[in-house]
């Protein structure tokens, strides 16, 4: 136990001895580095702690390279300082440094043990090293004022009266004209290397000291101010009473201490989601900015909520608070009245159109046919628009000769239909049924006309062609008379009774139907296909062909 303590004390004593040898100046303290350009003045100032200059005790400067000592008293004239090295006050002045001056210097009080060390390095004027090692960096921001200071290292102390400060002058590297060291609003183009030349007057001679300053001009960073991005002030939110409404307040923040929250009528909104009305929030931190959303939640919008104002407040440590105040308004109900009126009007218009069409469909169709002109092509290749098939009406209800002629001429001459007539167009010589079927084949419709004094094929023929009509699905139009209507279908030959169900029916009303503009003719034209206009033209070559063959 005792042995351990003794060993520790011994160790401490050894350490203390080591420290004392270091401090005793056996090895000099780290020298102060002084850099100077060849040909320029340099001033080494002995620090105060080395001792005060009390008359009898004098500062002694020693140059170790040149093995020379300098003292204040030594110098009284320039002749005595051939190397231009002398002591002024506490300073060692080298008027024009050269490589010969390079080396270690020390200052001490007499030949006392306390010394201060300098190491002087002299660079030639061409050496880039000097600029590199002594460049003073200055940073300024565009659009701001900027002042460069001329460095004041190793310059003569102000109290050395023998050396007169002659001021300094600035130059920009690469420019000959002197520059100002002050910019009221610095620009990017102002960046570069500047030289500041201090000049001193000693015994009528000018001695210079130059310093380089590198000015770096930076773009001023845009102001980053926290801001509420939505909603906007005085926004009005349309809400439905009783519904759930969430109003998001979004902000961009630049500090962790900045935040947004909701106020209602100037007091804090609760952040507890068990309330009917509260707010919650999210923060999303990106590299520089933080996006924060504070959501004002109305679980159920009450009528009283509409009367209040709601403020989203942004609190920031770097700027004043900002506010956005919004209000709620009841959403306007859609007008059911106008909706109903709209629907009713549409229905009415549709009904009227429908009724109009149904009532005037014949007129409309005929009008359209008229305006569009006769139909162009007849792709079916048929020769006639209609075949007039007369049959003997059982009763005395059919059309008489005169009416029939009238019907044919109105259809052919007035309306331009091409008709196939039994007694005109059915070629004699063939078997009657075959000839009639030929004619039907060539016609688009068959107009079935009852005739009173029988003129046309008899009922035997009807029976014969009945099957053919059914098979070919020939379009049939039946003309009836008023008297026939009374006796219903009984008046139709048996062969036609079944067919009459498939065809259209037009009623002949005697005298009133003879007018070409009568409803009888309108209806008939409506049921008949539109007359073909090219038919007759095409007939011509056919006829020639017939003749030649």
Ligand X SMILES: *[C@@H]1O[C@H](CO)[C@@H](O)[C@H](O)[C@H]1NC(C)=O
In the complex, which residues of this chain contact ligand X (CB under 6 A)?
A: 28, 31, 64-65, 75-76, 86, 88, 103-104, 111, 119, 142-143, 162, 169, 197, 199, 206, 208, 220, 246, 265-266, 271-274, 280, 282, 295, 297, 309, 325
Residue 253 Cβ vs ligand X, minimum distance, rounded to whole Å: 15
Kindly give, in sequence order, each residue whose CB lies less than 8 Å from that of residue 158, ignoring residues fewer than 6 positions away.
165
Closest to 181 (Cα-Cα) out of 212, 208, 153, 157: 212
Judged by beta carbon, residue 31 or residue 192, the one nearer ligand X is 31
| Burial class for 532, CB neighbours closer than 10 Å (0-12, 13-18, 19+) | buried
| Residue number with CB closer to ligand X (29 or 351) | 29
295 CB contacts (<8 Å, ≥6 apart)?
Answer: 246, 247, 248, 249, 279, 280, 281
Give the list of residues 6+ apart from residue 199 with CB closer than 8 angstroms, or none: 166, 167, 168, 169, 206, 207, 208, 209
**Nearest Cα residue to 200 out of 46, 99, 91, 62:** 91
Cα torsion through 258, 260, 266, 272, rounded to 10? -120
Structure tokens at 10: 């011994």
State which residue, 104 or 319, has the beta carbon closest to ligand X. Answer: 104
Q: How far is residue 366's CA from residue 304's CA, in Å, rounded to a whole number? A: 69
CB 331, min distance to ligand X, A: 20
Comparing CB distances to ligand X, the nearer of 103 and 416 is 103
DSSP state of 108: E
Nearest approach, Cβ of residue 13 and ligand X (Å):
28
Give Cα 179 distance to the centre of its chain.
49
Q: How many degrees, rounded to 5, is the angle at CA 262 between CA 258 and CA 265?
A: 135
Three-state secondary structure of 264-307: ECCEECCCCCCCCEEEEEEEEECCCCEEEEEEEEECCCCHHHHH
Measured between alpha carbons, how far is residue 206 from residues 141, 164, 528 in Å?
36, 9, 129
Residue number, 18 or 206, with CB nearest to ligand X: 206
The token pair at 336 is 């059911």
Nearer to ligand X, 248 or 412 (CB): 248
Provide, rounded to whole angstroms, the least separation between the CB of residue 234 and ligand X: 8
CA distance 213 to 144: 18
| Pick 199 or 365: Cβ nearer ligand X | 199
User: Phi, psi (5° rounding) for residue 316?
Assistant: -135, 150
CB of 248 to ligand X, least distance (A): 9
- Which residue, 218 or 538, has its beta carbon nearer to ligand X? 218
In whole angstroms, give the CA distance from residue 376 to residue 373.
Answer: 9
Q: Minimum CB separation from ligand X for residue 47, in Å?
A: 17
The first and second tokens of residue 508, run together, are 């002949």
CB of residue 9 to ligand X, shortest distance in Å: 34
Q: State in angstroms the smallest separation of the CB of 77 from ligand X.
A: 7
CB 116 within 8 A of CB 34: no
Min dist CB 170 to ligand X, Å, is: 10
Nearer to ligand X, 26 or 511 (CB): 26
Provide the minimum distance between the beta carbon of 264 and ligand X in the complex, in angstroms, as a whole number: 8
Q: How many CA atoms lie within 13 A of 460 on its CB side?
A: 3
CB of 151 to ligand X, least distance (A): 16
Nearer to ligand X, 86 or 422 (CB): 86
Least distance (Å) between residue 60 CB and ligand X: 8
**Residue closer to ligand X (CB basis): 119 or 136:** 119
| Choice between 64 and 356, CB closer to ligand X | 64
- Shortest approach of ligand X to residue 42 CB, angstroms? 13
Residue whose pair of structure tokens reads 């008489």 in the numeric block: 400
- Tell which residue, 427, 435, 448, 444, has the closest CA to residue 503: 448
Our CB check for ligand X shows the closer of 93 and 492 to be 93
Give the DSSP letter of residue 111.
T
Closest CA to 128 of 193, 54, 177: 193
- For CA atoms 396, 398, 400, 401, give the dihedral sign: negative
């Amino acid at each position: 136990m005792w042995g351990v303590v003794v060993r520790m004390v011994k160790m401490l004593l050894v350490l203390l001895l080591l420290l004392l040898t270091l401090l005793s100046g056996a090895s000099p303290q780290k020298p102060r580095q002084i850099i100077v350009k060849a040909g320029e003045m340099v001033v080494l100032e002995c620090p105060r702690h080395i001792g005060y200059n009390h008359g009898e005790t004098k500062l002694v400067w020693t140059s170790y390279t040149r093995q020379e000592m300098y003292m204040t008293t030594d110098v009284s004239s320039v002749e005595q300082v051939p190397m231009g090295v002398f002591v002024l006050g506490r300073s060692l002045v080298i008027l024009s440094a050269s490589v010969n001056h390079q080396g270690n210097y020390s200052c001490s009080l007499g030949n006392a043990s306390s010394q201060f060390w300098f190491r002087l390095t002299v660079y030639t004027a061409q050496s880039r090293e000097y600029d590199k090692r002594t460049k003073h960096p200055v940073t300024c921001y565009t659009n701001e004022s900027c002042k460069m200071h001329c460095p004041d290292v190793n310059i003569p102390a102000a109290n050395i009266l023998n050396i007169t400060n002659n001021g300094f002058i600035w130059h920009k590297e690469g420019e000959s004209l002197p520059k100002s060291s002050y910019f009221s609003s610095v620009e990017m183009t102002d960046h570069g290397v500047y030289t500041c030349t201090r000049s001193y007057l000693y015994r009528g001679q000018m001695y210079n000291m130059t310093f380089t300053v590198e000015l770096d001009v930076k773009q001023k960073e845009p102001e980053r101010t926290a801001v509420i991005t939505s909603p906007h002030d005085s926004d009005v939110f349309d809400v439905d009473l009783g519904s759930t409404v969430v109003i998001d307040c979004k902000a961009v923040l630049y500090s962790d201490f900045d935040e947004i929250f909701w106020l209602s009528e100037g007091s804090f909104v609760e952040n507890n989601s068990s309330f009917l009305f509260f707010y919650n929030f999210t923060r999303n931190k990106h590299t520089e900015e933080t996006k924060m959303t504070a959501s004002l939640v109305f679980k159920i919008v009450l009528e009283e909520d509409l009367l209040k104002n709601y403020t989203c407040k942004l609190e920031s440590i770097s700027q004043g608070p900002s506010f956005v105040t919004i209000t709620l308004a009841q959403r306007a109900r859609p007008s059911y009245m106008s909706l109903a009126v709209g629907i009713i009007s549409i229905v009415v218009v549709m009904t009227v159109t429908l009724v109009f069409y149904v009532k005037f469909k014949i007129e409309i169709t005929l009008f359209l046919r008229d305006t569009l002109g006769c139909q162009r092509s007849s792709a079916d290749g048929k020769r006639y628009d209609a075949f007039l098939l007369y049959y003997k009406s059982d009763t005395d209800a059919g059309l008489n000769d005169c009416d029939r002629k009238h019907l044919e001429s109105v259809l052919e001459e007035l309306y331009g239909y091409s008709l196939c007539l039994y007694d005109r167009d059915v070629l004699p010589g063939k078997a009657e049924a075959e000839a009639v079927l030929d004619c039907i084949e060539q016609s688009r419709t068959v107009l079935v006309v009852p005739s009173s004094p029988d003129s046309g094929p008899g009922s035997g023929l009807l029976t014969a062609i009945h099957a053919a009509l059914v098979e070919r699905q020939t379009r049939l139009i039946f003309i009836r008379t008023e008297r026939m209507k009374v006796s219903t279908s009984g008046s139709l030959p048996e062969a036609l009774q079944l067919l009459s169900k498939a065809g259209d029916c037009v009623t002949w009303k005697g005298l009133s139907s003879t007018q070409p503009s009568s409803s009888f003719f309108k209806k008939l034209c409506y049921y008949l296909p539109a007359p073909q206009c090219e038919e007759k033209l095409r007939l011509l070559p056919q006829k020639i062909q017939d003749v030649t063959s």
